[in-house]
Amino acid sequence: MNAFQLTGKRALVTGASKGIGVGLARGLAAAGAELVVNARNADELETTAARLREETGATIHCEPFDLSAADELDSFLGSVVERCGPIDILINNAGRTHRGAAHEMPLEKWREVLDLNLTTVFALSQAFAKHRMAAGGGGRIINVGSLMCSTTRPNNTPYAASKGGVLLLTKAMAVDWADHGIRVNAIGPGYIDTPLNKALVDDPEFSDWVTQRCPLGRWGTPDDLSGTVVFLASPASEFITGQIIYVDGGFLARF
């Protein structure tokens, strides 16, 4: 269906050198989008981009940058637009976590997680919205949330707080920018087998808990998220904004 095609669109995907970011980038490229991929490590980013170019034939630009420098994100996006052209779709995927008991959580770690997972999402989205308003063409923002937009587990205080914030930030930005044709939504991945979750995947007890708790009986993969991100980036979701779609194998549906 043409409604799901992204030909002629350019998408910026953050945190795109590994894990979920690769799955999202692959899906967007397969749907016809030109990509601008971002991560901190330039070598890892170029390796991933080369692989995706070979797989999809897409045009892919690499823009390595540390997004935790929130005050510099407006100029970062401006330089990306100058080098690569206008950005139609922003995928806020970059994030980090730090696990530990709440009463033992160092404030510096709390700030690191909140700064990247929440403040950076707002600052880059703000820069993108101003860019799209100036261009007069609307746009799409897709934030990567988590099961922890709605619930939590022990020893995840800063991550849960940041992802809970992402959910309400998604709704707030959707309301503020609707008149400008900017749709803002989120996806909530379930337990996805990625390098970030390697310690959990490799823990037999935890991995068994995930597969038994998930109605579909397995860990998700980054590619499981690609269809949803294409849907939210495409004209097929024109009347959807301020929403989150959980891609979790039914995890949250099970009591």
List the CATH number of the domain containing 83: 3.40.50.720
Question: pLDDT at residue 90 above 90?
Answer: yes
Tokens of 205: 């007890």
Model pLDDT, residue 1:
58
Nearest to 181 by CA among 132, 143, 243, 114: 132
Q: Identify whether 167 is part of a domain.
A: yes
Model pLDDT, residue 79:
98
- Confidence band, pLDDT 50/70/90 cuts, at residue 21: very high
Q: Identify whether 254 is part of a domain.
A: no
Q: Identify whether 225 is part of a domain.
A: yes
Question: pLDDT at residue 38 above 90?
Answer: yes
140-194 tens-digit pLDDT: 999 999 999 999 999 999 999 999 999 999 999 999 999 999 999 999 999 999 9
CA–CA separation, 212 and 209 (whole Å)? 5
Neighbours of 17 (CB within 10 A): 26
Q: Identify whether 255 is part of a domain.
A: no
- Per the model's pLDDT, the better-predicted residue between 128 and 137 turns out to be 128
Mean pLDDT of the chain: 96
Model pLDDT, residue 2:
86
Integer angstrom CA distances of residue 83 from 37, 76, 86: 13, 11, 9
CA–CA separation, 193 and 199 (whole Å)? 10
Q: Among positive and negative, which fits the CA dihedral 208, 212, 214, 217?
A: positive
Domain count, the chain: 1
CA–CA separation, 109 and 246 (whole Å)? 27
User: Could you tell me if 88 and 131 are in contact, meaning their C-beta atoms sit under 8 angstroms apart?
Assistant: no
Q: Which domain, by its residues, includes 157?
A: 2-248
Question: pLDDT at residue 195 above 90?
Answer: no
Q: Identify whether 253 is part of a domain.
A: no
Burial category of 74 from C-beta neighbours within 10 Å (exposed 0-12, middle 13-18, buried 19 and up): middle
- Confidence band, pLDDT 50/70/90 cuts, at residue 255: confident
The H or E element that residue 183 is part of is: strand 182-189
Segment 86-108 shows an average pLDDT of 96
Tokens of 154: 């022990």
What lies within 8 Å, CB to CB, of 208 at 6+ separation is none
Model pLDDT, residue 137:
83
Segment 64-72 shows an average pLDDT of 95
Question: pLDDT at residue 204 above 90?
Answer: yes
Model pLDDT, residue 253:
96
Q: Identify whether 57 is part of a domain.
A: yes
Active site residues: 159
Tell me which of 61-65, 96-100, 241-245 is least confident: 96-100
Burial category of 24 from C-beta neighbours within 10 Å (exposed 0-12, middle 13-18, buried 19 and up): buried
Q: Identify whether 190 is part of a domain.
A: yes
Q: Among positive and negative, which fits the CA dihedral 156, 112, 121, 194?
A: negative
Q: Identify whether 163 is part of a domain.
A: yes
